[in-house]
Amino acid sequence: GAVVSQHPSWVICKSGTSVKIECRSLDFQATTMFWYRQFPKQSLMLMATSNEGSKATYEQGVEKDKFLINHASLTLSTLTVTSAHPEDSSFYICSAAPEETQYFGPGTRLLVL
């Protein structure tokens, strides 16, 4: 149980394009989902907290117009990186929390050329 999927697992795009990443909880409903970014050999950096049916709460320093988050249902949240640039290249991970425990997806590696 407690399986979280992410799609795509990796994506390569050209600078200036937008990329959408999906996060789904497969066997439970998640009132809250979280989006993280992780740089090589570093810890998880929380970008935003997503609650179903309401606007996401972004961490300080994260551009909400750059990283659009939509939490349309209790099992799906999406992160859209708008007008991506090479510095947005990273490993993006979502997690879903039915209660206080977070269950993570497998991550999406984004490479912007």
Partner 1 sequence: GENVEQHPSTLSVQEGDSAVIKCTYSDSASNYFPWYKQELGKGPQLIIDIRSNVGEKKDQRIAVTLNKTAKHFSLHITETQPEDSAVYFCAAPANAGGTSYGKLTFGQGTILTVHP
Q: Which two tokens stand for residue 28?
A: 């439970």
Interface pick for partner 1 out of 7, 20, 66, 109 (rule CB under 8 A): 109
Q: Measured from the CB of residue 95, what is the shortest distance to partner 1 in angstroms?
A: 8
Does the footprint of partner 1 cover residue 103 (CB under 8 A)?
Answer: yes
Residues in contact with partner 1, shown as a per-residue x/- string from 52 to 91 under the rule CB under 8 A:
----------------------------------------
Query: Binding marks (x or -) toward partner 1, 30..49, rule CB under 8 A?
Result: --x-x------xxxx-x--x
Pick the stretch among 60-68, 71-79, 80-88, 101-109 that binds partner 1 (CB under 8 A). Answer: 101-109
Q: Is the peptide bond before 8 cis (omega within 30 degrees of 0)?
A: yes
What pairs with residue 10 in β-bridges? 109
Residues that bind partner 1 (CB under 8 A): 2, 4, 6, 32, 34, 41-44, 46, 49, 93, 95, 97, 99-107, 109
